[in-house]
């Protein structure tokens, strides 16, 4: 699609109402422009294209903040006799005056750009009271003769003056508006925004619908990929094990445990980095309370009992105590720890049928070897942290400057945990499925099926809220 068919949309409003933050959220780009609490951060008009499948469907223009709206309103009112019923002509005349280039330089840039566009988004910080200067700005902008869709920004922050703003907009004949928080966009907010624009800007319904459909596909893709990344992490960690001689002394055991813990922590950190990249965030741009900015590692150690406690997880004996990785030193069969007598008794008693895939483990166990694995409580903690992170990213606007908190707010239902444990038992029986293992890593069809099953299980949990 040619650019000539794209919607040209100006983002306008008073200084410091969140125009650039809104642009970042609409563009899914946390690096666009400069966001600052100081006034007049945006000094020039900046444009960027919004495309779908390689076709430019919209061009957004980030404009300087209006600061002298009331003075400009008074100036235009006193000079409107020749342009009583022709607002655009009055604005063009004004833009050719000396005062436009001096006293009203900032406002002139906005008006000049709006005249070139098909419509405008007027961004309102609903935390601010309805003041005459804002109403004067709207009157000035309306003189350009272009459709204006007010955007009620920062609606998630309380207290605010949203109801007063809605009433004030009707008094200036603006009955169409949208609540769209650039920090935490509403579910389906983009589709609603594009739909409202299509209603007030004739001739662009098809482009806006294409854009809405494309963005929905992107959301679904990000969610599917994020859930798969979590499933890959869980399979990697659940399948991870190291053989330990029965007579191993404390010092080499401690070294082995430390190495295993570091590998697991690094694997979680990689998952975090991948998920941030998936949602177009980076660790240096998104401050996570539980992450160190330098390397993306969690401040709260994955294997500390206090971390588990903070996430509401009851710990088993030895978990987080430094005695193990959060695991038992024993033969693992089907995700459960079996003593030598049990395994040997099964073999001697003729119950070997169905146990053939445990043969090597049983043999190793009988030779005095054990396996060191990652405990279920640690895997539960990994699930909690990553599902919570995904939930936060999926609802986070790129204009947000607040801390992204990875907390225990996500609750894992018992039914979900039982189903997850059942699927991870399969991974427990296949150490070759772990990319962390010193054994040869195999990404076979059975492993992919296990990852898929866990992904679908997590999706069901996600959909249940």
Q: Which residues contact 391 (CB under 8 A, 6 or more apart)?
A: 410, 462
Segment 196-207 shows an average pLDDT of 91
For residue 165, give the nearest of 11, 141, 155, 184 by alpha carbon. Answer: 155
Answer CATH for 3-203 from 3.40.50.300, 2.40.128.50, 4.10.520.10, 3.40.50.720? 3.40.50.300
As given in the structure block, the two tokens for residue 40 are 């007049």
Residue with tokens 């659940």: 238
Segment 223-242 shows an average pLDDT of 94
Residue with tokens 């992450």: 291
Comparison of pLDDT for 324 and 123, the residue scoring more: 123
Q: For the chain, what is the mean pLDDT?
A: 79
For residue 99, give the nearest of 83, 78, 127 by alpha carbon. Answer: 78
* Torsion on CA atoms 412, 407, 254, 420, rounded to nearest 10: 20
- Residue 133's pLDDT band (cuts 50, 70, 90): very high
Measured CA to CA, the distance from residue 424 to residue 178 in angstroms comes to 45
- Residue 395: predicted pLDDT: 84
- Residue 340: predicted pLDDT: 32
Say if CB 56 and CB 6 are below 8 A apart. Answer: yes
- The HSE-up count of residue 119 (CA atoms within 13 Å, CB side) is 20
For residue 371, give the nearest of 379, 362, 380, 381 by alpha carbon. Answer: 362
- Residue 339: predicted pLDDT: 33
Handedness of CA 155, 159, 163, 167 (dihedral sign): negative
Measured CA to CA, the distance from residue 273 to residue 270 in angstroms comes to 5
Helix, strand, coil content of the chain in percent (nearest 5): 50, 15, 40
**Partners of 119 in the beta sheet?**
9
Comparison of pLDDT for 284 and 413, the residue scoring more: 413
Q: Which residues contact 95 (CB under 8 A, 6 or more apart)?
A: 108, 111, 112
Measured CA to CA, the distance from residue 197 to residue 206 in angstroms comes to 11
As given in the structure block, the two tokens for residue 162 are 């949203």
Intervals of CATH 3.40.50.300 along the chain? 3-203
- Residue 364: predicted pLDDT: 52
Comparison of pLDDT for 34 and 190, the residue scoring more: 190
- Residue 404's pLDDT band (cuts 50, 70, 90): low
Comparison of pLDDT for 14 and 252, the residue scoring more: 14
Mutual angle of helices 69-78 and 87-95, in 10-degree steps = 110
- Residue 373: predicted pLDDT: 84
- Residue 148's pLDDT band (cuts 50, 70, 90): very high
The three-state DSSP-derived secondary structure of 119-165 is: EEEEEEECCCCCCHHHHHHHHHHHCCCCCEEEEEECCCCCCCCHHHH
Each residue's pLDDT tens digit, 37-58: 444 455 789 889 999 888 899 9
Each residue's pLDDT tens digit, 75-108: 988 876 778 789 999 999 999 999 999 999 999 9
- Residue 297: predicted pLDDT: 55
- Residue 56: predicted pLDDT: 92
- Residue 320: predicted pLDDT: 37
* Torsion on CA atoms 100, 106, 110, 116, rounded to nearest 10: 50
Each residue's pLDDT tens digit, 236-248: 999 998 877 767 7
Each residue's pLDDT tens digit, 325-358: 443 333 333 333 333 333 333 333 333 333 344 4
Comparison of pLDDT for 26 and 413, the residue scoring more: 26
Comparison of pLDDT for 112 and 265, the residue scoring more: 112
Each residue's pLDDT tens digit, 254-277: 888 888 888 998 898 899 889 989
Say if CB 61 and CB 39 are below 8 A apart. Answer: no
């Amino acid at each position: 699609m040619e650019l000539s068919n794209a919607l040209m949309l100006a983002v306008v409003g008073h200084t410091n109402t969140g125009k650039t933050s809104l642009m970042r959220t609409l563009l899914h780009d946390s690096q666009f422009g400069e966001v600052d609490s100081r006034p007049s951060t945006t000094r020039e008009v900046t444009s960027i294209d919004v495309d779908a499948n390689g076709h430019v469907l919209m061009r957004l223009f980030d404009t300087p903040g209006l600061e002298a709206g009331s003075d400009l309103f008074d100036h235009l009112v006193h000079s409107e006799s020749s342009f009583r019923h022709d607002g655009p002509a009055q604005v063009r005349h004004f833009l050719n005056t000396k005062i436009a280039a001096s006293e009203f330089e900032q406002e002139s840039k906005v008006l000049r750009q709006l005249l070139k566009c098909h419509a405008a988004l007027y961004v309102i910080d609903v935390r601010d009271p309805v003041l005459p200067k804002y109403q004067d700005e709207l009157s000035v902008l309306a003189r350009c003769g272009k459709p204006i869709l007010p955007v009620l920004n920062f609606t998630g922050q309380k207290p605010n003056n949203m109801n007063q703003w809605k009433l004030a907009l009707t008094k200036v004949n603006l009955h169409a508006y949208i609540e769209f928080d650039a920090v935490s966009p509403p579910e389906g907010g983009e589709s609603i925004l594009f739909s409202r624009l299509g209603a007030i800007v004739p001739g662009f319904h098809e482009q806006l619908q294409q854009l809405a459909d494309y963005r929905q596909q992107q959301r679904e893709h990000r969610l599917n990929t994020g859930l798969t990344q979590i499933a890959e992490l869980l399979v990697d960690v659940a399948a991870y094990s190291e053989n330990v001689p029965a007579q191993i002394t404390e010092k080499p055991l401690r070294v082995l445990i430390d190495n295993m813990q570091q590998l697991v922590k690094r694997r979680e950190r990689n998952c975090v980095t991948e998920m941030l990249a998936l949602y177009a965030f980076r660790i240096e741009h998104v401050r996570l309370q539980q992450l160190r900015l330098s390397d993306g590692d969690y401040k709260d150690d994955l294997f500390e009992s206090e971390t588990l406690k903070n996430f509401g997880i009851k710990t088993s004996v030895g978990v987080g105590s430094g005695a193990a990785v959060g695991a038992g030193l024993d033969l693992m069969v089907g995700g459960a720890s079996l003593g030598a007598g049990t395994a040997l008794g099964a073999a001697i008693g003729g119950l070997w049928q169905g146990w053939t895939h445990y043969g090597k483990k049983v043999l190793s166990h009988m030779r005095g070897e054990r396996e060191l694995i990652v405990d279920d409580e640690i895997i539960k903690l990994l699930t909690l942290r990553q599902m919570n992170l995904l939930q936060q990213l999926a609802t986070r606007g790129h204009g947000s400057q607040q801390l992204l908190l990875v907390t225990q707010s996500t609750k894992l239902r018992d039914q979900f945990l039982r189903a997850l444990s059942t699927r991870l038992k399969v991974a427990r029986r296949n150490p070759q499925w772990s990319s962390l293992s010193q054994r040869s890593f195999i990404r076979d069809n059975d492993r992919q099926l296990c990852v898929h099953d866990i992904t679908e299980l997590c999706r069901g949990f996600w959909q249940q809220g």
